[in-house]
Structure 1
Amino acid sequence: MSGGPAITLKSQPIDGNNSNSGNAAAQQQQSGNNAAAAASSSSSSQASSGTVPPAQEGTRQSSLQRIQQRKQKVFNLPEAQKLAKLSMYSACQFEGCRCTGWKTPQENRHRDVESSYCPEPSEECRNASCRHPLRSHISHLTEISRTSMDDLLGAIIDMENLFMSMQRVEDEDTKKVYLYLFRLLRQCVLTRQQAVIRGPLGDPPFESPCITKAVLSLVFYKYNHLNPTELQTMTEVAKTFLNFLNHYNFESPSARRGDATLTHDDASTYKINYTRWLVFCHVPAFCNSLRQFETSLVFGRTLLRTVFQNMSQQLKKKCISERDRFPEDKRSIITQMPKFLEALRAELLKDDSPIWDSTYRPPNSFVMQQRKRHQEVAPPATISAAGAAATSSSKRSTVGEPAHKRVKKEVAERVVSENLDDLPTDVVMRAMKSVSESKTTNKSEILFPVNVSRDENVKAEEQKRAIEFHVVGNSLTKSVDKQTILWLLGLQLVFAYQLPEMPREYISQLVFDTKHKTLALIKENQPIGGICFRPFPTQGFTEIVFCAVTMAEQVKGYGTHLMNHLKDYSIQRGIKHLLTFADCDAIGYFKKQGFSKDIKLARPVYAGYIKEYDSATLMHCELHPSIVNTQFIAVIRNQSEILKELIAQRHNEVQKVRTGLTCFKEGLPSIPVESIPGLREIGWKPQMRPVRASRPLEESTDPEKLATQFASVLQSVRQHTTAWPFLRPVTAAEVPDYYDHIKYPMDLKTMGERLKKGYYQTRRLFMADMARIFSNCRFYNSPDTEYYRCANSLERYFQTKMRELGLWDK
């Protein structure tokens, strides 16, 4: 892999016997010569041009390992030395002093706090404008937790590595990026905040579809006709290509200026994407204080088309040079790589290629289809029968079900129909009329309403047009009227005043961003509140960014009505989920609006799309398409009044007053419900439940017999048509973040191996592993996925097989 800049390391042996080069970043202005010397000494591990040669694969891994070892060494230092290290990057707390970091005294400037040197709290700063003791730089750090201290130290080490790399790199574009990130981390250390990259670069992902999705779509699009073995090989080829891309070092824009194939626009676009790659992908791989993204997941066709020629040539050379290192069974990947690269190049050049269409989706997704092709276990006759059963089930027919199930089903349906007798229409109409008349005649209730909802007055104002709701936003493709601009400016002021912790520049950026819209609450032609949001129609959710109402108009129900309008607006556009990061002061408000900390959306749906904030809580609200939220509260209250009237009418019909029960005082622990006097007279009916014939548990004490039974169940489960997602372990290559969420994975293959080793001595162990398969699936996948449905179906089948053998007692 050739090309771009590398993050270099502070020159230091792994055992920690290093010089004082760690002070280079902190003392760059006063000891520039020493920093340059230290940078020169670090060149032993990298090329002096600032680029990585097409060298050993271990270089990247060894660099990461060395960085981690140094961080771990610093984390294990005594607290006094940690504070001394932090002091070099901490502002002096002495009133009026502008010193931004404690400087080691002249006599100790060549000693390193990361080894044996531990300055005394009384030692003075070498900075002539400061001269305050060390304790003045650390007085605000003594109470922070160990985790926070380690996070700050990790950021400092990342910052020092960036500084050393900045001294060595020759490319000016790269140096500017390193300087920007260095200053960002420096400011974050000073303010003790998390590093968040904002600005004109935008937020990942930068293009849709991403390279990963397009490449996997290419495999399905081009090679779906192959047999399962060949299709699996092409899938491995695609993953090898993506892995190469994610570790590829791109050439700097200056190195590509001589490329005659690049137009001026292409060169400008590549410079932007190169900067994005450095900031979001390359540098964070070595500096974990910054959030890292994989190149293939955040970039799309534009970047790949620019670098494909050089990258494919290097990948071919690498495959040839390392052919002998591949196992025999994997060498087919090397053989098929040129064919795959040629197919991908052709799709890159075609303007109408379906794989680069963001709406293109292989049927049931490629991964799902690939797994199914490996499991063609059901004969055609069975498939036809299943199809017929599915058709008949839509008509609620019970033909084909076992007789005992049919009887239970018929009994259950009969019981339900008997117990769900609806009230006569005339009774309900009489109650509705009574409620309506009471509201009309009760003047005191009109003047002084009881338990009126907070948004009733707001709706009355809206009907009188005293207030209005408008969705406004900026645009680059069409002219924006003056009134909209004025409202956006007013909303910017409302958000800035009500959200003082949020930077004003950031508020302005999002309010006027063309991808964001704002639901504005207008009163007397002035915005008094609003909700700034960004819809993601392809992902099915809307992100709420800001929500505020001016102080003078709060506690009047405007916030509730604003949110209800946003819900109706989202439902009309087919969006059924709202997500937001709420600070501690806003959690209560969002809970009242139906938001919950229990996120029902699968993380892959929103990860990388929604903006994340420190010290904020992610909250989710699921919308029902049949509910009109602006009218929902009034409908519920009206229903409640009707129910109360029905209860009152029924109460009036029951004239007889009966004495209370005395049997409990006489020592009787319980009585049948139907024996309570007067219960039947008011319409209560005993619930008729179908009699369930219990089956005695038949668990054998013979381990061999038990193992035989388990093997029979496991074999039946494996052969079920919905078992294909669970036959083998999920690999990190297929689902990168799976093991971030699932800590105790399980699959049918692993269960088979455990069964052979005699692990399942009791049915409880066997049932627990099987249950873990289904619970893991439901935890990771959302309910509307095929995986989730397969888990439910297979779980029911498993329980049936266990009951047939007398091994199920639930």
Structure 2
Amino acid sequence: MEMSEKSEAGAASEGASKPIEISRQISLQRIQQRKQQLKNWQRNKKLLKLAIYSACQEEDCKCGGWKTPTPPQKPPNPPDGSVSLANFTDPCRSCTHVLESHVRHLENLPEDEINRLLSMVVDVENIFMSMPREEDPDTKRVYCYLFKLLRKCIAGMTRPVIEGPLGQPPFERPSIAKAVTNFVLYKFGHLMPREWQTMHDLAKMFLHCLNHWYFESPSVRKTDATYEEMSEYKVLYTRWLVFCHVPAFCDSLPHHETTLVFGRSLLRAVYRSVCRQLMDKCQSERDRMPPEKKILVLTHFPRFLSLLEEDVYTQDSPIWDPDFKQLPPSHLQGITDTVKVSSQSTRKPGEFEKVTVTPNEKESFTTVNLSPGFGKKHLRTDGNAASASEKKEPSGEVVQQSEAKRRKIEEGEDVPESVVADIIAVISESKKMVGPEDIFAENAARDEAAKQEERRGEIEFHVVGNSLTQTVSKRTMMWLIGLQNVFSHQLPRMPREYITRLVFDPKHKTLALIKDNRPIGGICFRMFPTQGFTEIVFCAVISNEQVKGYGTHLMNHLKDYHVRQNIFHFLTFADDFAIGYFKKQGFSKEITLSRSHYFGFIKDYEAATLMHCELQANIVYTEFTAVIRKQKEIVRKLVERRQKVVQKVHPGLTCFKEQSGNANGGWNKIPIESIPGIKKTGWQPPASSLSPTPSTSDSKSADNEGLMSALKSILNQARNQGIIYCIQG
């Protein structure tokens, strides 16, 4: 292992010795930073690094990797912290061939493949550095096997595949996650929504703990287990190491969640030990818990674990039945039906429904690119959608009413799908849509110009933020400085130091509007995922770029970003100048979010109004105006088609001819019922006009006179004060 750089695996292995520890996350971040550092190297330096693990390409040479001709002396460390590498002409200590002979086959590989091999090199070095620190012989053997496998894959430029007697995941059916879900439905399906939600949250907490737990090695369990139990646990432990634990910090290996690939065997083997340690940990941290969490963890969680233990060790428990079927609670059945319908349907252009994708759990970023890729929207997974909807706790009555309403609409639908499809094809085909309205759209959407600029690549949207745990790119830092200047210039009443502190605070993020590679606007916000809302802190666009729809398009991008993050409430304190903007974006002074969710979390400002906006998960906000416009166009086309079928020409009005001899020289009014064909359209005269009485006529006349006198009084007062000089005369 000559010339190998400092490995981060030592820290990773130490962090793995304890369940759920912060040092583990720090170690994983350092490993990712190390991989990124190697990927940023120049190509020649990358090849020199890979030469150590690459077999010699000369004929009949069996050298497995280049080695330095003599043990290197310790040179001074360069600024980037890496060790200086050799040259392509240096001979190998094993085969005497030059280093270039070991990398000849790598020269034509694409950059992505070179980076993948370098990532495997970092994983190899991490495992190598972990082996001396590992005292357990079973774990050390697994590390040795994975070390050899990855070295072989680097030399052969292949992807690692675990083969042999271990098998392939999933190893049992049903999985632990499915069994625990069955348990919640089976035991607590009869509870009221709030109690059911508590048990559902406890189940998620338990599964999360299992996915991040470091299980005992077989040697530790030898004292209290039989030979058969030890043999079975050794297989389970090896599978867990190979497919779950080691891939967590060596991402060259395929990673699987513990609760998704293991089943009853592993849970039975570790359940009592895990529960005991878990409750000890909860007791030790009880003084640092908030009151709500303390009640949940110390009161409800032990009962939950006790009930689950019975079904884990009961031989004929129904939760382990692969074909277990039970209806969800009544307050969730409507939500489940909605999720099933949305998952079966595919999204078409111009529709609100979005494609379900697997979310990325690794949020180790300081910049998120929201465009290019305009128009491609993603939604949460079905499970997340259900859980988010469960928090609203809709009553069964409301769900039944909405279902009945939906059925009634579907039964009364009289427009064939083929007709609607033909209309969509016509309005979507620009060659068929001719006329001035196609170029000069009447009542164009506020964000239409901004959307066109985004499609042309003239503007981009990025979520940027500072970080204390990873390196922030120079571009991101320059954008943050630019955003700080934009906010300071556009919000002069806000202290500059305060703006700087929040923009560069790692807990805050900013959706930046980038034009010509510099920020011209942005929305600074802080997310509170546990509370279910986001606080909007600053929102501004530079003055010479305003009135172009950028502000609306910014907010729509922010809404779509939060829908993907499963956050559906915005809160902000708006001053008098910003209230109008926020109202246009769907904000209201009426706060429907419970005060307990946000009190003590958001920043309070003087002379500002708290405003709230609730997001809808089934809307793509950046496409909302286009969808509404298309819906209006479809209705207009349907009306035109209907008019062609039922069109009838009626004779003109005769009242003009009849009133031509009027001494006053004109007509007073046209009775609506005198219009030919008006009654056939379904119009009916108001009830008051059917049987007029003297009393109603007198009251109407009195009302008109009172209104006239009130309006004259207002007009005179306005004239006297000179505030309507433009109409005086």
TM-score of the aligned structures, taking structure 2 as reference length: 0.49
